[in-house]
Amino acid sequence: MTARVACIGECMLELSGVDTDRMTLSYGGDTLNTAVYLSRLGIATDYITALGDDPYSDWMVDQWQSEGVGIEHVIRAPSRLPGLYAIRTDGRGERQFHYWRDQAPVRDLLTLPDWSKVAENLCGYDLIYLSGITLSLYPTEQRDCLNEVLARARRQGCRIAFDTNFRPRGWPSPEAARHTINRTLAHCDIALPTLDDDRQVFGDLDAEACATRLRNIGIGEVAVKMDAAGCLISVDGEICHVNTEPQDSPVDTTGAGDSFNAAYLAGRLQGTSPTIAARQAHRLAGTVIMHRGAIIPRTSMPVEISEDGEHER
């Protein structure tokens, strides 16, 4: 039976360019990026979010559907508009982000009339994936509701995967983020943190300290991303380091972690060992950073994510 995954989060409209009179319209969101890559890697994936009933929301949904991402549980809020952010790039390639998202319907996702039906259906998935950015969208009451849904789904056999993905802009302080993230980690089976993020939130000195902390709260599988230094995998207390492959200087690191998470989870859901799944994840992320934007063209996807062939236990 094919595994089914639900990714929960926000996707916004994106304007990017050097000059305001030559901006390009696209869309972006960490969990949406992961959903797209999961779908491309053969995993049946649905996206859980809220959008408006405007033409731009229609366009985003059409784009996701063309990628094979299920949109059945995208809640549409009447007379609302999705979030928007603009990226300004200067002559040195440095980027600045400007956001208009405070009134985005996704911020009310768990209070919208159709949420109860979505929450009920989440128990039928094999894996639910979300991130620290997902949690940063909601006030305490909605986070409590989400944690209850995760706990209920887990009791019914669904696994929960989580990426800390800390963005200071979304939190009043690292301490607030730490408290909130810890409450969700208590319901997780797979953690996919980036070391730099967890240093800011939890003060982890190195990847092994990060993995140990997560293992001590009951998370059996951890993949700590360390950018060019590779990743550290900890499964049931056994630790190994998986290097990245040598390559040229990256063009754009946007979406590297999101694509890593997708390939790692896809590999694990398809029966590969943690080590091979990590190699697959490095291979996809290494391809993504050689292109501009978080989602690369389909034609640029690695022909075979893994050269290893057999599924290893």
Question: How far is it, in rounded angstroms, from Cα 242 to Cα 275?
Answer: 7
The candidate with the shortest Cα–Cα distance to 207, out of 216, 194, 217, 219, is 194
- From residue 7, alpha-carbon distances to 43, 175, 189, 213 in Å are 12, 26, 15, 25
Q: What b/e readout covers 107-119, taking b as 16+ CB neighbours within 10 angstroms?
A: bbbbebeebeebb
Find the catalytic residue in 163, 197, 198, 258: 258
> Phi/psi at 227 (nearest 5 deg)?
55, -130
3-state SS, residue 96: strand
Q: In the chain, where does DSSP find H-type helix?
A: 30-40, 55-66, 115-122, 132-136, 140-155, 174-185, 195-202, 207-216, 256-269, 274-288
Residue 271: other Cβ atoms inside 10 A = 13
As given in the structure block, the two tokens for residue 248 are 């040229």
Evaluate the CA torsion angle 252, 204, 192, 129 in order and state its sign.
Answer: negative
- Concerning whether 248 is annotated as a catalytic residue, the answer is no
- Per DSSP bridges, beta strands 95-100 and 84-89 are antiparallel
| Gap between the terminal Cα atoms of the chain | 19
For residues 131 and 192, is the Cβ–Cβ distance under 8 A? no
For residues 148 and 187, is the Cβ–Cβ distance under 8 A? no
* Cα angle for residues 284, 232, 215 (degrees, 5° grid): 125
Q: Give the residue numbers marked as catalytic.
A: 258
